[in-house]
Each structure stands twice: as structure tokens, then as C-alpha cells.
Amino acid sequence: MMPLFFVFLLAPIAVAIALYRRNPRRFLDGPTEDVPLRLLRWAIGLLSPQRAEWGQAMLGELGHLDGRWRRTRFAISCASAALVMPPWGQAAAGLWAMVAITAASFAIYADLTVHYQLGAGGWFGVGGWIALTVVLLICVGYLLAASALLRRPGIALPGLAGGLFATLVGLALSGFTAVDQVTYIPAGWHRGVAVLAVPAAIGVASTLWRRDPAAGRRVARLAAFSAGLLQLLYATVAVAILGGGGPPDEDGGFTVRGTVTDRLANNIVDLMVSTLIIALVGWAAAALTGYLVRRSPTPAADPFQLRGR
Amino acid sequence: MQRNRPPSPQTGNVLRALAADPARWRYGYDLGTEVNLKSGSLYPILVRLADRGLLETAWEPSLDSRPPRHLYRLTGDGRDFVAALTVARSDRRATHRRNRLSEA
């Protein structure tokens, strides 16, 4: 539990330091830009390079609008257009892959809910349906966040590759069978690898590859979302294979419905925790790498060679 | 490949608003207000029209500290397109009226 404790303790401190370093005046004088401008700036960053002029057009128009409500409405509307405006290029393939993975997880989850009548259990007899709705909301949230990251230039491929890498390492540690999935309890160095080494490797590698800590942080976030959704699919398939069977052999007093519910709930907790850890540790590693690379002195040019040219 | 699908009612409204005074450059926000379209719907329409060569764009130089504004007006092809659209629309109306009369 110790690495987890450190992650959750240090992450908010790291975020606060990063925000302060980016713009110290924000803490002294309040926000220097209003929310609509920041929202629109973020949204037009998602546009493909050939649509950059249209993003500037939206910004220019916002610059001539007065009134908070008017500006907010304009910015929200433009941001929604920028989010979906084609062309998407390679990002479209990545998004469709993630949508397919999420749809498969949700379909299996819904099938298990119906098959084991999980919908009839829990709070007021509708707990299973509430859980299914929560899963849907979480997955849609992940997809929306991932779609914004996928549209950033040069993020899709390393982000999805990072997610696949984290998933494969996680499966290699836990084991690939359905039983491994439902009985795995990480301990010792396994936890260190999954919680620290892999996310940090993603953050460091992406920052060095793209030579940009901001890109590294985005890659880490996309890797976190894609790894979370991939792991959810694998774990949900494992529950579908085992159902209420499999270990533990001794009946702990659970009904089949209770066992399946418990396993599915564990998957959802794992989804959120693993996503958070990869995103936070990867983000911190990318930021640290960027800082160290910036600080490392560039080799001085040889004056004799320069004179000889 | 260019599609010959008729434009949506919203696109038609934008085209007609631009064609009302084709020589005049228009701002995006004012155009949206005139045709009652939110910016999230207006800008994709403007992008499509510009891609098809029906819309001309320019930048208005900034006079103060505010950012420059994008301006829009129809190209020659855009004006021809609106004219053809108006003719097709009136033909459709006439045909529709004739059909209704013959049914009666």
C-alpha cells in the first residue's frame, strides 16, 4: 500500500507546484484570462493543423464579444464544434478502436447483469442497473477524455501504445487466465512495477521521444485511459468465463449473484485506480523528465571548429 | 469527390444571408445572429462552404489590442450556387403546386 499512499499524497502537491510554476500571478492576482477564453483556447488546440485558421477565427470573434454569458455561450458552442470537426486523421482509427473495446465491455457487463439477474439485487432491487449505469457513465467519460487527447498531434500512437504496454505488463504480472484475473492480489515488487515503473516509463519515454513534457503528459493520460478500458474488457471477459464458479473453492457464504457482483465491482475499482495511477505517475515522470532535460547543459560548440568553417 | 446533395436548411439560410449583399464582408457572430444559428453550428457550415470554394475569407486588421476578426463573403461560384439553388427551389415549389392541383 505504501506506493499507493505516496502517489495519492504527492500527486496533488505536484499539480499545485506545476500550476504555480506555470503562472504564479494566478495565485496572486486571480485568473488572468476568463473561463470562455481558456476553454476556447483548449478546444482549438484539438483542431487539425489545416483547420488552425478556423480556430483563430473563433478566438478573434470571442475577442470582440462582451458580457460573460454571451462569451460563455459562444465559447461552449465553438468548443463543441471544435471537438468533432473533421479531419481526424489517425485519431479516428484510435477512437473507433477504443469505442469498440468499451462497447464490448459494456455489452458483456449488461449480459452478465441480465443473465445473473444482478439488476434485481442491491439497493431497492435496482442496484445492478445502477451499477450498469455507473459503468456506462465512467466509460463514456473515459472515451470523451481520450477523444480530446487523441486529436492532439502526435499523441494518438504513443498514447495507445503506452496503454497496450501497461496492459500487457499488468497481464504478465497477474497471469493471463480468467482465474488469475479474479484471484490476483499484487504484492511486493509487482506493485512497484505496476504502480511506479510502468507509468513512469511511459511518461519518461514519451517526453524523450516527443522532446516535449506537455506531449509526454498527454501521452501518459491517454495511456491511462486506454489501459484502463483494455484491462476492463479483459477482466469482464474473465468474469463472464468463470461466472460464479472458480476459486475460492470453499464457499464463503456468497450466492452466485453475490460472487459475480463482487467480481464486477472489483473490476470497476481496478479500472478507476489503475487509470488514476498511470495518469498521475506518468504525468509526474513526464514533468520531471522535461525539467531535467531543460536543465541539462548543452555541450558548448568547439570554437576552433567554428572558426574553421 | 464533391457531393451534389442539396444543402441543409441551415446552410441554405447562411447562403441566402450572405447572398443578400454579396459584396459585403460579414463577421461570423453577426451572421450567426442573423440566421439564428449557434456558433457551434455556424462554423462547421462556413468551413464546408469554404472547402467547396463557395466562401471567401479574409482577416480584418486589428485596430486595438483585440485579436483580428475573420470575414466572410460569397465567391463568384458561391453566388452562382445560390442563384441555382433559388431556381431549383422555385421549380420544386411549382412542381409541388402542380401536383397538388392535379390531385385535387
pLDDT digits (tens, 9 = 90+) for A273-298: 999 999 999 999 999 999 898 876 65
End-to-end CA gap in chain B: 42
Q: What is the pLDDT of residues A149-190, one digit of tens each?
A: 998 888 999 999 999 999 999 999 999 998 888 888 888 889
C-alpha A37/C-alpha A28 separation (Å) is: 20
ipTM, 2 dp: 0.88
Quickly state the pLDDT bin for A146 (edges 50, 70, 90).
very high
Q: Looking at the structure, do residues A113 and A236 belong to the same domain, yes or no?
A: yes
- One domain for residues A94 and A79: no
CA distances from residue A229 to A117, A200, A223, A272, B50 in whole angstroms, order as listed: 24, 19, 10, 10, 39
Whether A252 and A136 share a structural domain: yes
Contact flag B39-A51 (C-beta cutoff 8 Å): no
Those of residues 257-286 in A touching chain B at CB distance below 8 A are none
Helices (H), chain A: 2-22, 25-29, 35-44, 52-63, 68-84, 90-115, 127-150, 156-174, 178-183, 189-192, 198-210, 213-242, 256-295, 303-308
If asked whether residues A95 and A202 sit together in one domain, one would say: yes
Indicate whether A45 belongs to any domain.
yes
**Given strand B55-60, what is the order of strands in its sheet?**
B26-27, B69-74, B55-60
State whether A74 and B43 contact (CB < 8 Å): no
pTM of the model: 0.73
Mind listing the pLDDT tens digit for each residue in A213-224? 999 999 999 999
- Confidence class of residue A108 from pLDDT cuts 50, 70 and 90? very high
Contact A117, A245 (CB under 8 A): no
pLDDT value of residue B26: 96
Q: Name the CATH topology of B9-61+68-103.
A: Arc Repressor Mutant, subunit A (1.10.10)
Number of structural domains (chain A) is: 2
Between strands B69-74 and B26-27, the pairing is antiparallel
Q: Is the same domain home to A194 and A140?
A: yes
* Residues A77 and A189 placed together within one structural domain of the fold: no
Q: Are A142 and A275 in contact (CB under 8 A)?
A: yes
pLDDT tens digits, B25-55: 999 999 999 999 999 999 999 999 999 999 9
Tell me: do A108 and A176 sit in the same domain. Answer: yes
Tell me how far apart the alpha carbons of residues B47 and B14 are, in angstroms, rounded to a whole number: 12
Contact: B38, A73; criterion CB under 8 Å: yes
Min Cα distance A34 → chain B (Å) is 15
Give the end of a domain, one of A87, A104, A131: A87
Separation CA B60–CA A241 (nearest Å): 64
Quote the CA–CA distance of B55 and B47 in Å, as a whole number.
Answer: 9
Domain extent, residue A170, equals 89-295
CB-based burial, A157-168: b 16+ in 10 Å, e otherwise: ebbbbbbebbbe
Is position A15 within any domain? no
Residue A30 to residue A41: CA distance in whole angstroms: 19
> Is A11 inside any structural domain?
no
Give the residue from A46, A73, A77 with the most B CB atoms within 10 Å of its CB, the best one to mutate.
A77
pLDDT at A31 over 60: no
Q: Are residues A200 and A288 in the same domain?
A: yes
Q: B interface mutation test: which of A51, A56, A64 has the most B CBs within 10 A? A: A64
Instruction: Determine contact, residues A132/A113, Cβ cutoff 8 Å.
Output: yes
Same structural domain for residues A55 and A101?
Answer: no
pLDDT reading at B2 higher than 70: no
Which of A63, A73, A85 lies nearest to residue B67, judging by beta carbons?
Answer: A63
Nearest CA in chain B to A83: B40
| A240 and A174 within one domain | yes
What is the SS3 assignment for B26?
strand
pLDDT of residue A309: 43
- Residues A41 and A134 occupy one common structural domain: no
- Rounded to an integer, the average pLDDT of B48-72 is 92
Q: Which residues of A touch B28 (CB under 8 A)?
A: 57-58, 61
Half-sphere exposure of A104 (CA within 13 A, CB side): 16
Residue A100 lies in a domain: yes
Same domain, A187 and A255: yes
Between A194 and B92, whose confidence is greater?
A: A194
- How many other C-beta atoms can be found within 10 angstroms of the C-beta atom of residue A147? 21
- Residue A303 included in any domain: no
Note whether residue A171 is domain-resident.
yes
| Closest Cα in chain A to B67 | A60
Radius of gyration of chain A (CA): 23
Q: What is the pLDDT of residue B1?
A: 44
